[in-house]
Amino acid sequence: MKPKHVPAAAGAPDPYFPNSGDHRYRVHRYELALDYRPGPNRLAGSARLSAVADAALAEFALDLAEFRIGRVLVDGKAARYTHRGGKLRIRPARALAPGAAFTVEVHYAGNPRPVRSPWGGLGWEELTEGALVASQPVGAPSWFPCNDRPADKATYQLAVTTPSPFTVVASGRLLTRTTRASSTTWVYEQSAPTPTYLVTVSIGHYRPVPLAVRPAVPQTGYVPERLAAAFARDFARQPEMAAYFGEVFGPYPFGEYAVVVADEELDVPVEAQGVATFGTNHLGGGWERERLIAHELAHQWFGNSVTIADWRHIWLNEGFAKYAEWLWSEHAGGPGAAVHAAAAHRLLAGLPQDLTLGDPGRRLMFDDRLYQRGGLVVHALRRALGDDAFFAMLRDWTGANRHGVVATADLRAHAARYTAAPLGPLFEAWLERPELPPLPG
């Protein structure tokens, strides 16, 4: 399954993270075999990458944190390599020609820890009992060698071996679970193209909690035993939410949806492809928690299936997920989207006007204002198009770009097909200038 659209920008270094990834080749499949021991926090892994060269490659690079490297093979032959500063630079025995398909095998081991970033540690996080992965935007190298670029989407097979008392939840569908002696191997297959930052693993003492008897999309929670009843209560409306989003956004893009409640407090929930991870502090009911459920679920369409070409376009992920919160409130009998939009506009009006939504810069890419202003752009589009055209536009956007890669220019061109009125002034005001435009409608 290949992405349907890859903008030219996808073949260039990411402007916010120019040292992440190698744009000269594309990976189309990862096969990871991991053995994790929670007590000593020790990870031993092997990774097999199937890739295609887009240019002549005498050498190429993978992103990988400071593990010990056992061996590196390219097309089954030993390759020379250096490993410094989070980069595994590989020189195959024979240079790769443009268009050549090749495989890379890396065997590695060590104590995984988060990658340092301006937003704290990213990636593999050791918990009191187990581990979780939260990689956005550049944390994937904390646990496997990869081409860490959002536009380089691939399929995955993950085989994770842990002591048998632990449960493993990973991106994709569980294929097998095999116990030998005191260890169990869990094998997951993610057949939909997935960016590296959206691949996840959670390891812990979890009880599975089905969220509906016959949901259109299988939905399961994995929670500590003592929280099972609270989870079932707090997430009871998620199947209804998924059904509603399927109506307004188009069919759910993956085969399943899992929710993990880690036995820790987390700053924010974390979305991954087909999985969302919450902390114990995200239980308890109320709108503030319900909107987070809606937000993470909406990312399965906006960000996960329809993926940004590079991090300049992050508002496409967060703006639509924020607006999904407001749509769910409107649908579920709470305040309408216009009420939420007005509240967001009042909030932003009292804050500094120094964020350019269409290119916020690395420093502001996770600023709270980006989420609110992104939601307001979507609301402005709804007002400009009218409900019938707006929701048709949304469904066609996710359908045409299902499992693909997009940029802001693609949305602008797409939305223009649903109205005779010019949308250029709307997008320019909201995306290209930092000053807050008037409240839509």
> What DSSP element (H or E) covers 139?
none
Query: Pick from 154, 171, 197: which residue ends a domain?
Result: 197
Q: What is the CATH number of the domain that holds 372?
A: 1.10.390.10
Strand partners, 438: none
pLDDT band at 6 (very low <50, low <70, confident <90, very high): very low
- pTM of the complete model: 0.95
In a domain, 401, yes or no: yes
pLDDT band at 215 (very low <50, low <70, confident <90, very high): low
pLDDT band at 9 (very low <50, low <70, confident <90, very high): very low
Does residue 93 surpass a pLDDT of 50? yes
Average per-residue pLDDT for the chain = 95
Query: Pick from 197, 226, 246: which residue ends a domain?
Result: 197
pLDDT digits over 38-47, tens only?
999 999 999 9
> What DSSP element (H or E) covers 378?
helix 368-385
pLDDT digits over 364-385, tens only?
999 999 999 999 999 999 999 9
pLDDT band at 3 (very low <50, low <70, confident <90, very high): very low
Place of tokens 């890859």: 6
pLDDT mean over 18-27: 97
pLDDT mean over 22-32: 97
In a domain, 81, yes or no: yes
Give residues with Cβ within 8 angstroms of 220, minimum separation 6.
208, 209, 210, 211, 256, 257, 258, 259
Does residue 7 surpass a pLDDT of 50? no
pLDDT value, residue 412: 98
Does residue 143 surpass a pLDDT of 60? yes
Angle at 122 between CA 195 and CA 322, to 5 degrees: 65
In a domain, 159, yes or no: yes
pLDDT value, residue 2: 41
Whether residue 185 sits in one domain with residue 46: yes
Query: Pick from 175, 197, 219: which residue ends a domain?
Result: 197
State how many domains the chain has.
2
Whether residue 322 sits in one domain with residue 190: no
The letter for the amino acid at 141 is P
Does residue 120 surpass a pLDDT of 50? yes
In a domain, 254, yes or no: no
| Binding site, annotated residues | 295, 299, 318
Distance, CA of 308 to CA of 314 (rounded, Å) = 7
Does residue 166 surpass a pLDDT of 80? yes
pLDDT digits over 313-363, tens only?
999 999 999 999 999 999 999 999 999 999 999 999 999 999 999 999 999
Q: Which tokens sit at 222?
A: 């994995």
Q: Rounded to an integer, what is the distance from CA 186 to the centroid of its chain?
A: 21
In a domain, 319, yes or no: yes
Measure Cα distances from 200 to 109, 132, 258, 384 in Å: 18, 7, 11, 38
Percent of the chain with pLDDT over 90: 94
Q: Which domain holds residue 18?
A: 1-197
| Binding site, annotated residues for Zn(2+) | 295, 299, 318
In a domain, 145, yes or no: yes
The letter for the amino acid at 193 is P
Write the DSSP string, 282-349: G-S-SHHHHHHHHHHHHTTTBTTTBEESSGGGTHHHHHHHHHHHHHHHHHTTSS-HHHHHHHHHHHHH
pLDDT band at 12 (very low <50, low <70, confident <90, very high): confident
pLDDT value, residue 398: 98
**Phi and psi for 270 in degrees, rounded to 5?**
-130, 125
Q: What is the CATH number of the domain that holds 77?
A: 2.60.40.1730
Whether residue 192 sits in one domain with residue 330: no
pLDDT value, residue 261: 98
In a domain, 3, yes or no: yes
pLDDT value, residue 193: 98
In a domain, 50, yes or no: yes
Whether residue 166 sits in one domain with residue 23: yes
pLDDT value, residue 234: 96
Percent of the chain with pLDDT over 70: 97
Whether residue 331 sits in one domain with residue 182: no
Does residue 214 surpass a pLDDT of 80? no
Whether residue 168 sits in one domain with residue 45: yes
